[in-house]
Structure 1
Amino acid sequence: MQITISDNAISWFKESMKLQQGDKVKFYSQIYGSSPVQDKHALAFTKDNDPIDIAVRTEVEGIEFYVEDTDVWFFDGHDLKVDYDPDEDELKFDYVKPE
């Protein structure tokens, strides 16, 4: 599994969440909602500088984005691509099955 954060998305994270170099963002599953990869579970994220057991990580502009081992199941073998859509003013999450 890989995490990819677009330039537009990193700008959104820095502005909206006031993130700086050294900060960490955790992606995790939440019970409410739905997603293309899990019924009745949605993707959530939070600033969390105290990871427990990182399974996947990527760093962009000094900010680390990660998924802990307990949440890898949510992605069902898909990579996570995060982008920002300025027309909708929201983050977009794409789940891509690696070839």
Structure 2
Amino acid sequence: MKIEVTKPAVRWFKEQFDTEENQYIRFFARYGGCGSFQSGFSLGISQEMPERPLAEYKIEDCIFYVEEQDAWYFGQHNLKVKYSRTKDEIEFESQEITS
């Protein structure tokens, strides 16, 4: 699994989370909401240190990651995080893993 976060999305995170140098931002599976990976679940976001990261993406002093325990949520998909100017929010896009 891979994670990609676009530069506009990184700016959004820095504004919303008041990030510091080497700030960790976790994406995790949570019950409820609507997500593009698993029906009945959506992605949550938190600032916490990783324990057993499955995937990491470092950009502009931010480290985005997913823990191994959330691998089931993503299945055979990568995660791309983008920023929508029209909605002024981030969007999650699933991308099928290709060999």
Aligned to 1:60: 59
Aligned to 1:19: 19
Kindly provide the CA deviation profile for residues 49-86 of structure 1, in whole angstroms up to 9, marking residues without a partner as x: x2211111110111110000000110111110001111
TM norm structure 2: 0.94
Aligned to 1:34: 34
Residue 84 of structure 2 aligns with an amino acid whose one-letter code is D
TM norm structure 1: 0.94
Gaps of 5+ in 1: none
Identity score, percent = 29
The list of structure 1 runs, each at least 4 consecutive aligned residues, that deviate by more than 3 angstroms after superposition, is none
Gaps of 5+ in 2: none
Separation in 2 of the partners of 1:60 and 1:20?
Answer: 13
Question: What secondary structure sits across from 1:33 in the alignment?
Answer: coil
Residue 5 of structure 2 aligns with an amino acid whose one-letter code is I
Separation in 2 of the partners of 1:54 and 1:5?
Answer: 16
Q: Which has the higher strand share?
A: 2
Question: What secondary structure sits across from 1:39 in the alignment?
Answer: coil
Question: What secondary structure sits across from 1:66 in the alignment?
Answer: strand
Aligned to 1:84: 83
How far apart are 1:35 and its partner, in Å? Answer: 1.6
Quick check: 2:36–2:92 contact (8 Å CA) kept in 1?
Answer: no
How far apart are 1:16 and its partner, in Å? Answer: 1.1
Q: CA RMSD in A?
A: 0.9
